[in-house]
Amino acid sequence: MKKEISVEKRLKKLYPESSEYLLKKIKEKVNKFNDSIENTNSYELNENKSILITYGDSIKDESHSLNVLEKFMEEFVGDSINTVHILPFFPYSSDDGFSVVDYKKVNPDLGTWEDIKNFSKHYYLMFDAVVNHISSQSDWFKGFLRNDPKYDDYFITVDKNTDLSSVTRPRALPLLTKFDTPEGEKYVWTTFSEDQIDLNYKNPELLLDIINVLLFYVKNGASLLRLDAIGYIWKEVGTSCIHLKQTHEIIKLFKDIFDSIKGQVIIITETNVPHKENVSYFGNGEDEAQMVYNFSLPPLVLNAYQINSSKHISKWASGLEYPSDKTTFFNFLASHDGIGLMPVKGILSDVEIDNLIKKVEKNNGKVSYKTNSDGTQSPYEMNINYFDALYDERDSIKENINKFLGAYFIAFSLRGIPGIYIHSLIGSRNWAQGVKELGYNRAINREKLNYENLKKEIEKKGSFRNQIFYSMKHLLEIRKNHKAFSPKSGQEILSICDQVFAIKRFCEEETIVAIANLSKEEVTINLNEISNDNSATEIIKGKEIKNKISIEPYGYTWVKI
């Protein structure tokens, strides 16, 4: 096994009593995997990559939803996007898929493993590894409740009187949930909800089962694995139980295992926390996650358009560090979840964060809260469609569309791999009815759409969806043909004027300057402010530029110099 020495060291740190046994078992699993695999996918981080984030049934008709999604991709998206993050497609009991009943089954409403494998022949796939917790309806937890010795130590039980005040709480819900067992009442650790039971990584057998699951996903078509809520996986009473050194060691162990199998698998960590803690999951640039969600980006882009100024986003982006050319950010603006506020703590002031909340509430969005250690509550997430988060009734529809596309233009220009949520790509709006019907805030951005109706709307020339979809697609198609946008290419944040956010991307072959106008006023920039030449090429429209660049209200441009 390639990384045997490294794996052994990590196991000795985490499981000193069982390290020899675990090393033997892991080697067996890796060898068995490599013997069973012929064709492997290697996912390279380059300018060609962009990732669509979607549920398996975001677009539906009468057939298996996964087949409908693949049909939509092939008919409309083509190769402008080459990677699809299919949000949890397993049987589940709550949380729209994130309370998994069986890690190794496909929800029959969506399709089969055969559908997934076929999809992976045409697009790279990202799977969710929801491995901090499992459903209370799972066989694992049912076994625990009936005192099956195999599962006795798969979950974390705590005396109900234990002082857990130092534990970081991502939700305004109880940390412990009471369950009845043949041995009497047990209080079980439930970070996210009473239906989502935390797994006990102190148990070596649990670790082996999770490694089995991860290798199973790779064998069935996963090129990327998103480690959901991974910051919470190791618990030590008396600590915050988030970002513990053991958590990082387990992710590094997963990385060592993936480095030992055929092909290349990308680990992406989902840690919606302040920026400093978030980027710690890059490790030293070689040994942990290759990709980290750029959680500070969505609220900072909102702030930039709200105050018509690049002061905060420019300062933040200037300080972004990439520990190696093997790591990069996942630059997204919207997802199935809301817009996190914790990642801009210390970047925006409390007043500026409050102004974002007021804007979102004015535009019919919702705000979700978490419980602090002192019992108070803090806003942690704004639930709203990203177009509506940016929307201003004082602006024309053209200006609002420009603003939305400009926001994504920023995400596409920054160093990293861009992520596009399905409802951003197809120009959806707030689904207020869903919040009422389903009873939770995140439903506002999780509408399920009929394929034929969506198709008509996208194909209707000049319609809202038509304008958004084809403009977004055009930007993505341009982006993937320029090496300057590789995550390995250089980046410099330029200071032109306050109402402009400008990024220089460069490599040996070319230099491109991305300029986004954050204001309602037209902006004119002298070419000599960004180039030593008096001519350049605007690559979105393919026009030559002489001396000056004019950018319309909320407009954006890529200038090759």
Distance, CA of 218 to CA of 36 (rounded, Å): 12
Residue 57, annotated as binding a ligand: no
Which among 257, 278, 261 is positioned nearest to 269, based on CA atoms?
278
Residue 336, annotated as binding a ligand: yes
Which among 129, 116, 114, 120 is positioned nearest to 39, based on CA atoms?
120
Dihedral pair phi/psi, residue 395, rounded to 5°? -95, 150
H/E element, 20: helix 19-36
Residue 479, annotated as binding a ligand: no
Residue 275, annotated as binding a ligand: no
Give 174-201 as a DSSP string.
Answer: -SEEEEEETTEEEEEE-SSBTTEEEB-T
Distance, CA of 154 to CA of 134 (rounded, Å): 10
Dihedral pair phi/psi, residue 324, rounded to 5°? -165, 170
Tell me, rounded to whole angstroms, the distance of Cα 358 from its chain centroid. Answer: 25
Distance, CA of 278 to CA of 72 (rounded, Å): 34
**Contacts for 338 with CB less than 8 Å, ≥ 6 apart:** 366, 368, 381, 382, 383, 384, 441, 442, 445
Q: ∠ at Cα 367 (137, 309), nearest 5°?
A: 135
Q: Euclidean distance between the first and final Cα of the chain, in Å?
A: 47
Structure tokens, 109: 């409403």
Active site residues: 228
Distance, CA of 328 to CA of 67 (rounded, Å): 31
Residue 227, annotated as binding a ligand: yes
Residue 337, annotated as binding a ligand: yes
Do the Cβ atoms of 338 and 295 come closer than 8 Å? no
Which among 450, 466, 494, 419 is positioned nearest to 87, based on CA atoms?
419
Place of tokens 């890796």: 30
Question: Residues within the annotated binding site for substrate?
Answer: 95, 133, 226-228, 336-337, 442
Annotated binding-site residues read 95, 133, 226-228, 336-337, 442
